[in-house]
């Protein structure tokens, strides 16, 4: 009914006023020309394209979906034309290097583009979403020869790409993968095996598809260290078809606009990317960017459900709201009922906190790439390593669970297709699983990162946050107290883990959520500090969600730290 429409003014406010991004970026030589005007212009053009071209295709993407027949996949109506227009307008290459045919703009603009695209049409967006990792992977690991053939095509999005990792018995644990690569006399390899859950493994959006495939050489050791990375296109440069076949596509809960393919490699002739046995390394370098991308899907999808719920609640009347005087209408607006108001304000608090954290992370990714300063780089590395898994987990969780809360605002009308909100909730569910399940994000944060250095890195991140809290704000005191609690809790886990190796795995999710709440608190304090008399509609737009965060969201911090302390005590 009401398709998602990007609200670039809000995004612009967070980017420029709250994060001061244009000034930060212009200080980097790479982005000397990326001033506020240019960024605003790009954002508005992106919003226009998303709202006019991509959003209207979302319903057919779900209802008609991608169709498999005899190994070929036909995408839903309009998807191909939209994709051709998308890449020809240069959108996939927004943040790619100019030397590879890209526009060389900051990563944060790409991030904001994908937030909007995901919100508008997650199924369609899956296809270009996979390009960026493939681009980085080929750019940094492929031979010059391979780059000459593929890099620009992938950088510009003329050819789409896949990541072929998962196998029927190897999902979270890629080390179990069995696909084999046999060396050929000419230096190439013949790859055989079956990969599942391959998004965009086959489709009609682009003339060619470039597959990056994890496989095992004959002499490779078992486990993750035995995996190498290979490249095989659907069509070789000479136009011949590779022996890569799409055997079927999955029936799924949602995301019907994106074909999830079972791909069979039947002695397909491939080229190795990077060194033998270094396949996972080649993929993991782009992990932070990919996880940020999924976090942005969550933020966008939650915003999309919020938009529908908000529009519905302002239009429909049902029962009398408490504490309201008499009115001529036979009932009050749904938006006037406290339980519904609470849902709407709370989800808005999540969306904007998510934006601040995600945009900031994108800025840090640019600093990692382009800052000449080693301290800045180290700090940016730390931010990305610690904040990215938190964002991926909590914002994909919120897209599903908070999206379901938004659905509830519509009552029975939310459960039927008409308003389009149930589709978004179904689509959103998968983001809690892919790109590392949310449980794996929590283990990544606590076990692999925080415990690995005894909490030093986390303390340094908390120093950064604590110093950045607005001193004048009354709520900063509570924020500082939570930061202190989090430091103490971190040390308790470090200590108790010596007695009980499984402890951290049991409380990893509680820890991740406690960190998320501290980060969201910081984000909203920064937002409030940026609001002034010139901010349009400041009370309704920013003050009310900030209050909702403090009333309904932040109290969860107590229970998370309580659970962790209780488990540490049991472990001791």
Residue of 422, 407, 428, 391 lying closest to 518 (CA atoms): 391
From the list 288, 269, 165, the residue with the least C-alpha distance to 227 is 165
Of 422 and 528, the one with the shorter C-beta distance to a copy of itself is: 422
- DSSP characters over 422-438: HHHHHHHHGGGTSSS-H
Nearest Cα to 479, choosing from 547, 531, 557? 557
Task: Please confirm, yes or no, whether 267 is among the known catalytic residues.
Answer: no
Nearer to a copy of itself among residue 442 and residue 486 (C-beta): 442
Query: Least distance in Å: CB of 214 to a copy of itself?
Result: 16
Say how far apart CA 136 and CA 504 lie, in whole Å: 33
Nearer to a copy of itself, 154 or 548 (CB): 548
Query: Nearest Cα to 280, choosing from 230, 229, 218?
Result: 229
The dihedrals phi and psi of 198, each to the nearest 5 degrees, come to -90, 105
Closest separation in Å from C-beta 494 to a copy of itself? 15
Residue labelled with tokens 């244009």: 22
| Minimum CB–partner distance for residue 410 and a copy of itself (Å) | 9
Least distance between a copy of itself and beta carbon 559 (Å): 4
Which of residues 460 and 563 has its CB atom nearest to a copy of itself in the complex?
A: 563
Q: At what angle do helices 36-49 and 107-120 cross, to 10 degrees?
A: 20
Neighbours of 107 (CB within 10 A): 24
Q: State the minimum distance, in angstroms, from the CB of residue 458 to a copy of itself.
A: 20
Using the structure block, give the residue that is written with the tokens 């349009």.
Answer: 536
Q: What angle do CA 445, 127, 365 make, to 5 degrees?
A: 40
Phi, psi dihedrals of residue 390, rounded to the nearest 5°: -60, -50
Give the residue with the Cβ less far from a copy of itself, 147 or 316: 316
Rank residues 175 and 237 by Cβ distance to a copy of itself and give the closer one: 175
Task: Work out the burial of residue 512: count CB atoms within 10 Å of its CB; fewer than 13 is exposed, 13-18 middle, 19 or more buried.
Answer: buried
Catalytic residue among 435, 439, 528, 556: 435
Q: Which is nearer to a copy of itself, 80 or 401 (CB)?
A: 401
Query: Is residue 392 a contact partner of residue 295, using CB atoms and an 8 Å limit?
Result: yes
Instruction: Show Cβ contacts of residue 373 under 8 Å, excluding neighbours closer than 6 positions.
Output: none
Write phi, then psi, for 221 (nearest 5 degrees): -70, 160
Min dist. Cβ of residue 234 to a copy of itself (A): 23
Smallest distance from a copy of itself to CB 105, Å:
33
Catalytic residue set? 435
């Amino acid at each position: 009914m009401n398709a998602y429409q990007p609200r670039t003014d809000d995004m612009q406010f967070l980017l420029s006023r709250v994060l001061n991004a244009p000034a930060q970026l212009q200080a980097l030589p790479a982005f000397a020309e990326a001033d506020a005007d240019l960024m605003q212009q790009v954002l508005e053009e992106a919003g226009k394209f998303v709202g006019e071209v991509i959003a209207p295709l979302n319903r057919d993407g779900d209802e008609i979906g991608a169709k498999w027949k005899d190994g070929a996949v036909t995408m839903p109506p309009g998807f191909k034309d939209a994709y051709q227009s998308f890449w020809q307008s240069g959108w996939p290459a927004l943040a790619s290097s100019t030397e590879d045919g890209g526009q060389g703009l900051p990563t944060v603009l790409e991030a904001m583009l994908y937030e909007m695209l995901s919100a508008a049409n997650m199924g369609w967006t899956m296809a270009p979403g996979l390009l960026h990792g493939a681009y980085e992977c080929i750019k940094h690991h492929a031979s010059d020869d391979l780059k000459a053939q593929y890099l620009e095509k992938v950088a510009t999005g003329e050819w789409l790409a896949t990541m072929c990792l998962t196998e029927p018995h190897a999902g979270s644990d890629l080390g179990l993968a069995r696909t084999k690569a046999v060396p050929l006399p000419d230096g190439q390899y013949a790859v055989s095996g079956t990969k599942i859950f391959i998004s965009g493994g086959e489709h009609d959006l682009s003339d060619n598809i470039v597959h990056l495939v994890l496989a095992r050489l004959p002499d490779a050791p078992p486990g993750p260290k035995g995996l190498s990375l290979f490249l095989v296109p659907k069509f070789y440069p000479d136009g011949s078809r590779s022996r890569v076949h799409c055997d079927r596509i999955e029936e799924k809960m949602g995301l019907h606009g994106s074909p999830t393919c079972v791909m069979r490699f039947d002695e397909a002739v491939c080229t190795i990317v990077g060194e033998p046995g270094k396949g996972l390394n080649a993929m993991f370098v782009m992990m932070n960017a990919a996880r940020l991308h999924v976090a942005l899907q969550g933020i966008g999808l939650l915003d999309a459900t919020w938009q529908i719920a908000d529009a519905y609640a302002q239009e429909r009347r049902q029962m009398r709201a408490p504490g309201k005087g008499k009115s001529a209408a036979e009932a009050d607006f749904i938006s006037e009922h406290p339980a519904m108001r609470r849902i709407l304000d709370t989800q808005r608090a999540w969306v904007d906190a998510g934006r601040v954290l995600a945009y900031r992370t994108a800025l840090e990714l640019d600093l990692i790439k382009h800052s000449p300063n080693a301290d800045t780089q180290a700090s940016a590395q730390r931010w990305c390593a610690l904040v990215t898994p938190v964002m991926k987990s909590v914002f994909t969780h919120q897209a599903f669970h908070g999206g379901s809360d938004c659905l509830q605002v519509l009552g029975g009308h939310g459960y039927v297709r008409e308003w389009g909100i149930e589709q978004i909730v179904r689509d959103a569910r998968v983001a809690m699983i892919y790109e590392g399940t949310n449980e794996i994000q929590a283990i990544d944060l606590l076990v692999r990162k925080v415990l690995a250095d005894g909490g030093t890195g986390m303390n340094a991140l908390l120093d950064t946050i604590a110093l950045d809290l607005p001193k004048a704000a009354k709520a900063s005191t509570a924020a500082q107290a939570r930061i202190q609690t989090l430091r103490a809790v971190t040390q308790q886990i470090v200590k108790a883990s010596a007695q009980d190796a499984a402890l951290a795995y049991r409380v990893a999710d509680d820890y991740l959520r406690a960190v998320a709440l501290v980060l969201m608190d910081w984000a909203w304090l920064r937002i409030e500090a940026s609001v002034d008399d010139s901010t349009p509609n400041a009370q309704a737009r920013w003050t009310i969600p900030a209050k909702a965060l403090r009333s309904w969201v932040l109290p969860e911090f107590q229970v998370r730290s309580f659970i962790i302390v209780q488990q540490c005590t049991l472990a001791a």
